Amino acid sequence: MLVEIFPDYETLSERAYELVATLIRRKPNCVLGFATGSTPLGLYRRLVEGYRRGELDFSKVVTFNLDEYVGLPPSHPQSYHHFMWANLFQHININPSNVHLPNGMVDDIEAHCDWYEEQIRRVDGIDLQILGIGPNGHLAFNEPGSSLGSRTRIKTLSRATRRANARFFGSEEAVPRHAITMGIGTIMEARRLLLLASGRAKARAVRAMLEGPISAMVSATIVQLHRYAHVLLDAEAASELAYNHHDGISEPFDVH
Ligand code: PGA
- Which residues lie below 8 Å from residue 159, measured CB to CB, with a gap of 6+? none
Cβ atoms < 10 Å from Cβ of 153: 22
Active site residue 127: no
pLDDT at 245: 56
Query: Does the annotation mark 67 as catalytic?
Result: yes
Domain spanning 2-254: CATH 1.10.10.10: no
What is the per-residue pLDDT across 49-76, written as a single tens digit (0 to 9) for each? Answer: 999 999 999 999 999 999 999 999 999 9
Q: Is the C-beta atom of 133 inside 6 A of ligand 1?
A: yes
Return the SS3 of 180.
Answer: strand
Q: What is the mean pLDDT of residues 127-148?
A: 97
For residue 247, is pLDDT > 60?
no
173: burial class by Cβ within 10 Å (0-12, 13-18, 19+)? exposed
Whole-angstrom distance, CA of residue 68 vs CA of residue 103:
7
Question: Nearest CA to 65 among 108, 100, 117?
Answer: 100
Q: Model confidence at 243, in pLDDT bands (50, 70, 90)? A: confident
Task: State how far Cα 196 lies from the chain centre.
Answer: 8
The pTM assigned to this predicted structure is 0.94
The tens digit of pLDDT for each residue in 150-188 reads: 999 999 999 999 999 999 999 999 999 999 999 999 999
The rounded mean pLDDT for the chain is 95
Q: Mutate which of 12, 34, 39, 223 to test ligand 1's pocket (most atoms within 8 Å of Cβ)? A: 39
Arithmetic mean of pLDDT, 85-96: 98
- Ligand 1: centre distance to CA 17 (Å): 18
Examine the pLDDT at 228 and tell me if it is beyond 70: yes
Answer yes or no: is the C-beta of 137 below 6 A from any ligand 1 atom: no
**Overall average pLDDT of the 33-47 stretch:** 98
